[in-house]
Amino acid sequence: MTNSSTPDVLTKILARKRQEIAQRSALVSIDQLKQRITTASPVRGFIKAIRKKLAAGGTAVIAEVKKASPSKGLLRENFLPAEIAISYQAGGASCLSVLTDKDFFQGCEEYLQQARAACTLPVIRKDFIIDAYQVYEARAIGADCILLIVAALDDAQLSSLYQLATDLGMDVLVEVHDAVELQRALRLNLTLVGINNRNLRTFETSLQTTIDLLELIPDDIIVVSESGLHQAEDIAMLKRHQVHTFLIGEAFMRCEDPGEALKNLIA
């Protein structure tokens, strides 16, 4: 559900997403997805992998497998999810994020399956999830975690989708953009919160967004800083503010060897 404060770009994406869900559910029912889940690969602990890296004093990177974006267009022509996943694991990634949205990010479910099959890292399905159908679908295709964007959901949707994902054994990354969204997110029994530094109205990024919201978040919640992270100094600056988990995609996708770029960024 969206309201008058929902950015135009998100409204457009969600309208298309509702059409997509109707089309997909006509082809494959929820009952069929539930059946597929019974034979799906066991869940890999997404939050567990992050905690393990942090406990060892490391920097936890959720490395993104992303072909394109609405704001930047095509990011990588030679897009081979399996090779990218292998490179990321070699470069020290804790987890993977794979875009499955087709119309706006040129992603698909097969990319997630290819990336996950090529490595041993947990994978988050990065999409605009607004319906229970997509949560079942995520587990059926092998996702270990899903993204829930607070700006795209009302409180009832946020709570029910979060609970469903948890019931299916998946972890959840709840994404916020501002203090109002954060307060809504904190009503959940959160373990992992993502702060997206990108303004959905202007598409501009500011790492100050993460810094400003940090003081509102309880210490036992893992904070993931997302978007606008391009150089080692960005990471170093946020680490000085006790943020040690990052979701990064674009900066790596433009490099020939994404894993090497990751290694250099967190060295």
- Active-site hit among 87, 94, 196, 225: 196
Answer yes or no: 196 catalytic.
yes
Tokens 């559910």 sit on residue: 25
What DSSP letter does each residue of 22-72 carry, written as one string? Answer: HHHHHHS-HHHHHHHHTTSPPPP-HHHHHHHHHHTT--EEEEEE-SEETTT
- Active-site hit among 17, 53, 66, 67: 66
Answer yes or no: 53 catalytic.
no
Measured at the CA of 153, the angle between CA 148 and CA 156, to 5 degrees, comes to 105
Answer yes or no: 175 catalytic.
yes
List the beta bridge partners of residue 193: 174, 223
Element (H, E) at 250: helix 250-253
Answer yes or no: 66 catalytic.
yes
Which tokens hold the place of 50? 């992050």
Which tokens hold the place of 90? 């070699």
- Active-site hit among 17, 175, 197, 225: 175
Answer yes or no: 17 catalytic.
no
Answer yes or no: 226 catalytic.
yes
- Active-site hit among 17, 20, 64, 87: 64
Answer yes or no: 83 catalytic.
no
- Active-site hit among 126, 181, 197, 225: 126
- Active-site hit among 109, 137, 181, 226: 226
* Catalytic residue annotation: 64, 66, 126, 175, 196, 226-227
